[in-house]
Structure formats: C-alpha cells, structure tokens
Amino acid sequence: MARPLGSLVLVVGPSGVGKDTLISGARHALENDKRFVFVRRLVTRPSDAEIEDHDSLDRETFRDMEEAGRFALSWDAHNLRYALPLSVDTDLALGKTVVANVSRHIVPEAIKRYPTSVVVLITAEISCRAERLIRRGRESPDQITARLARESAPVPSGITPIIIDNSGLLAIGVTAFVMALRTIAAQE
C-alpha cells in the first residue's frame, strides 16, 4: 500500500470524556475547511444521535462486510463490533486529515497500517465522567462505578498523544481540539 498523504487522527479516551461531543463541535467549526473529513464509525449497536455518532449494522452484515474487505479497520469493544469504512483510505490518499473516534486497543494496528496517524487523547475529571455516564443512561450506577474503576491506561505504551482536557466548558474543549486538528493538518 502506498504511503498516505493525509493523517488519520485517532481520537481516544475513556467513556464519558466527551469524544463524540468534541468531534461534533470540531466538525461544525471546520465544515467549510475541505482538508478535514470526520468519519462515521460502523457499530453493531442501534444509533442514538444524541449520544454517539455512528452508523448501525447488524452482526451478520458487519461480518459479511469485514470478510469482503470493506473496512479500513475493525475491532471489538464492550461486546460490540466497530469499524471504520474503507473510504478512510481514499481520503488519506487525497491528503485529507481524517478524524475518527476509535478504541485505544486498535491504535497499534492503526499506526502500523497508517504510519502518519496521530493520537489525540481526550481526558476529563472522573466526577465529570461519572456525571456524563449517568446522563447517558446506558448503564446502571453499579455498572458506571465498575467502568470508572477498571479503566486502564488510555493509550498503548510507546505512543505520545496530544492530550486535551475536556473537564471544563464545552467551548474550551472544542477550541482546543480544533486547534490541535489545524496543527496536524498544517504538518502534512
């Protein structure tokens, strides 16, 4: 595979830090800047546009598409299947900065496949994360407590991410994320 001209921005961070919210804010702020593509994940879970931006697939369709080579990357997390569409390859070949919300577990494979990848780690104070997870309403209080307690290092060792703290006002987090994306695009 030829080396891509663009960069794949791998957005990672624990549940409740606001990854999808920051991505949505950056998508809006950069909607007229053709250097950026915000890729929608494919997930084997029904979509809830208020909570998470993705396209839903049933497990059989997901498996068929994966076997047909229709994904740029795919992974398992939280008893679900996730993927990025093959359009990522085209966008990178065109020199775009492609932004995707991914699991930290896929980062080494993504970097191996796309050497120009950049990792952006979104963080937030644990109290903010707990409040956001409760508002999201997907898990019981006990499940949220267990999720917050079990989370390990947010990125694999040896990878130095760009870190954005999203504990404060949304506008501050979005601005920091947009500035990071513009810096990445300027380096291509």
Nearest CA to 149 out of 135, 139, 163 is that of 139
102: nearest Cα among 161, 50, 41: 41
- Is 17 annotated to bind ligand? yes
69 is in an annotated binding site: no
Was 173 annotated as part of a binding site?
Answer: no
Q: Is 15 annotated as a binding residue?
A: yes
Which of 181, 7, 32 lies closest to 94, judged by CA?
A: 7
**110 phi and psi, to 5 degrees?**
-60, -45
Is residue 46 part of an annotated ligand binding site? no
The answer to whether the annotation marks 102 as part of a ligand binding site is no
Strand partners, 83: 42, 74
| Per-position DSSP letters for 63-101, written without gaps between them | HHHHHTT-EEEEEEETTEEEEEETHHHHHHHTT-EEEEE
Determine whether the annotation assigns residue 33 to a binding site: no
Any known ligand binding at 16? yes
Half-sphere exposure of 44 (CA within 13 A, CB side): 18
Phi/psi-derived region of residue 137, left when phi > 0, alpha when psi is between -120 and 50, beta in every other case: left
Residues placed in the known binding site for ATP: 13-20
Residues annotated in the binding site, as ranges?
13-20
